[in-house]
Structure 1
Amino acid sequence: MSARDGRLGVGVIGRGRLGPVLAAGLAGAGHAIVGVEAAEGAERDRVEALLPNVTIATAAQLVERSELLIIDVDDPRSLEPLVDALTADRAWVAGQLVMHTEAGFGTALLGHALDQGVIPLSVHPAIDVTGSSLDLQRLREAWCAVTAPRPVLPIAQALVVELGAEPVVIAEEDRPRYAEAIATATDFTHSIVRQATGILAEIGVAEPGFVLSSLVRSAADNALADANPVVVEPPTDPEDPE
């Protein structure tokens, strides 16, 4: 971070949907957006809707210019090859924060980049990403999995708080199981909603998604409440000798 004001120059590479959302959230917290990697067409339109007048640049340019580099890929299988290619090119900048957003990985895959002086962070928001401004609101109601070496873990946690979210620390070795939980909840929800709205559509119900919206939200809220039972402490007897 800048020694003067604690603000960072943030760049985004990888062309995923979440990276520009995080950049927009950090911009709202006062950080400067260096630029975003984006292709022509719908992808660029989506990025510019979130970040008007943002600089579109190549991955190499953004690595060179960014104090905080966010790597957000559209396919988890492409994350490690991208990191390896940048490492082989010796593209990293010493002292640079490098944060990826994949649920299933901690910071181990950034290991070789450490030799070039980067500070590795892994942050994954537990939201179903759309790539739109809607995600900014959802971030303010979300938890983010954070994984980082202990000395720099507070940096990852602070960035999450600046996004308006809450950090939850996930150990490096537990990231695959965390990703499994996220995928299970996301895939199951989409599948059940598609099945239920399909049945209503078959019997002629117009806009079945709206019809089920309150039910699905309340059922999810109740299920989540059941997963977090409130523990009531027994009252203390004032005459108890303890």
Structure 2
Amino acid sequence: MSTVNVLIQGSVVVLELNRPEALNAMNVEMLEELDRVLDEISQNEDVKVVIVRGSGNAFSAGGDIKMMLQENVGGDFDQVMDTIGSIVTKFYTMPKVTISALHGAAAGLGLSFALASDFVVAHTSTKLAMNFIKIGLIPDGGGHFFMEKRLGEAKAKQMIWEGKTISAEEAHGLGLVDSLVGDQMEEEISHRVGALLQAPLQAMLETKLIYTKQSLPRLEQILELEKNAQRRMRVSQDHREGIRAFVEKRRPQFSGK
């Protein structure tokens, strides 16, 4: 079974994260498939709009905890982080208008990925969390970059440190989400896509290109900083305690080490 479903509808492509049994948590297989699919879409000149959504009951719960347990801190770690960086960079810079359609949980790496899109649309019942801190890690996937872009440094830092789950309404008020939708998610997305396809997309994409070219060096710098910092955090006592507490379904006892 594919971990990323691709539905082509003329000049519109829908990407569906497809590990519903794991709330679309991103494992190595999904990351590699997503990287390949985004590469193909980026180079397809017929595609104008890309929509990303999750199958089942969530957009994405983030990185797969089982992957974190299995992955070593050597080459596998670097390869995974490089793939994550590649995914985010392609999604952020691709010459298409991109929309993330959130429902259920959008957390951790899943939230970082969603924030890389041009428009973030969320169902009113969505819960969002930049919750790496709860297992003694830092945001990756450009999470620091996108949070700062949308919230400013101070608020981004505070939200990352708190790691709390917030409602779609709170996220909308903060600017993490661009619009809220009730049970008419499909209709809202269709309406938005229809308007885009009737707009002067070439001019819109030139504006996107100006912003992404200006911002890309900083995004690449942050991805490298996240990779190096995450490597250090992966061997910390707090991360090991956070993972143990998660598996044992208890509150972690962090030591700051």
Q: Same fold (TM over 0.5)?
A: no
Bigger relative contact order (CA 8 A; separation at least 6)? 2
So what's the TM-score if we normalise by structure 2? 0.25
Q: What is the TM-score with the length of structure 1 in the denominator?
A: 0.26
Larger radius of gyration: 1
Structure showing the higher helix proportion among its residues: 2
